[in-house]
Amino acid sequence: MILENINPDVYNFSILVDAFCKEGKVKEAKNVFAVMMKKDIKPNIVTNNSLMDGYFLVKEVNRAMDIFNTTTQRGVSANVRRYNIMINGLCKIQMVDEAMSLFKEMRCRKIIADTITYRSLIDGLCKLGRISYTMKFVDEMCDRGQLSNIITYNSILGGLCKNHYVDKAIVLLTKIKEIGIQPNMCTYTILIEGLCKSRRLNDARKIFEDLLVKKGYGRP
């Protein structure tokens, strides 16, 4: 485009930055960003969000946080998408307390959390064994009309089994079925593995039989 004297705009540059970041090619994305700056083209919220996503992908957390803080100071409108990138990225690297701080900041700024926000926090908290917080978030999601799905419950089941709350996991499985959410293969794998690790082989067999019936194979 440039060689043909066609001047790309912020949208063209943002598409390139986003594409490179999604491939984990943050160096190339930064080069595109540098060209933008040289041409005095101001990055928009999409550009900044893409860079934050890219930095988390290559585990350069401080750089992602720098972009978030800098753009906020420059008056770039904060929205749920920007916060979700940060919260999800932080939860994936077990910086859940920092993610929780951002969640509280969202509330102070009257930014309404969506399903992605809650799922990220639930997954991060479960992996750290902070189960009581996760159930509060599930209840909060329901109160806001953002119903949980099996992916959310699988995170909780995984957290329960990992922290040796296998009985609570079985109770939760029953509750999931009662409210009309169908367990998937991942659900059964989590429970069977958790029961086996707790030496609950008979219970693991019962769950396995339930899976066989669900798949139409009948009882073994």
Q: Could you report the per-residue pLDDT of 70-110, keeping only the tens digit for each?
A: 877 666 667 899 999 999 999 999 999 999 999 999 999 99
Give every CB contact of residue 160 below 8 A, 6+ residues apart in sequence.
126, 131, 166, 168, 169, 172, 194
Side-chain-side CA neighbours of 20 within 13 Å: the count stands at: 19
Q: Is residue 122 part of a domain?
A: no
Q: Is residue 209 part of a domain?
A: yes
Query: In the chain, which stretches have pLDDT less than 50?
Result: 1-3, 217-220
* pTM attached to this predicted model: 0.77
Q: Is residue 4 part of a domain?
A: yes
Residue 210 belongs to what domain range? 164-220
Q: Is residue 103 part of a domain?
A: no
State how many domains the chain has. 2
Phi (first) and psi of residue 79, to 5 degrees: -135, 175
Q: Is residue 141 part of a domain?
A: no
Report the alpha-carbon distance of residue 126 to residue 172 in Å, rounded: 14
DSSP structural state of residue 47 = H
Give the model's pLDDT for residue 3: 44
Report the alpha-carbon distance of residue 36 to residue 171 in Å, rounded: 55
Q: Residue 157 in contact with residue 138, Cβ under 8 Å?
A: no
